[in-house]
Amino acid sequence: MVTGKINSNTVDAQEAITELVGVEASGLSNQSVNFGSSNVPSVLAGQTLSNQLMSDVSKVVACVLTQANKFPELANAIEERDMDAARRWN
């Protein structure tokens, strides 16, 4: 993944989120870990934590993707602003 400044270029913005678009984690919230009939407290705590994390990861991925989808729109607005500024210099 390329890192750097946000450019006023819609192509660069779209390329920046391309890798994120294919990430699908919504199914994680419906899955759970089951360690069987263990009664070891640390195993049970690990099971509970794992199940909470799967749900939380799903929510974080959805949030990141929502924010990432704003980059092309932001880049388009910046690109238009830059073109207006450039026309004023002519």
The token pair at 57 is 């990861």
- Cα–Cα distance measured from residue 41 to residue 71, given in angstroms and rounded to the nearest whole number: 45
Higher-confidence residue of 42 and 74: namely 42
Which one has a higher pLDDT value, 32 or 81?
A: 81
Q: What is the pTM of this model?
A: 0.52
Place 41 in a pLDDT band, splitting at 50, 70 and 90: very high
Q: Dihedral (C-alpha) 22, 25, 31, 36: value to the nearest 10 degrees? A: 90
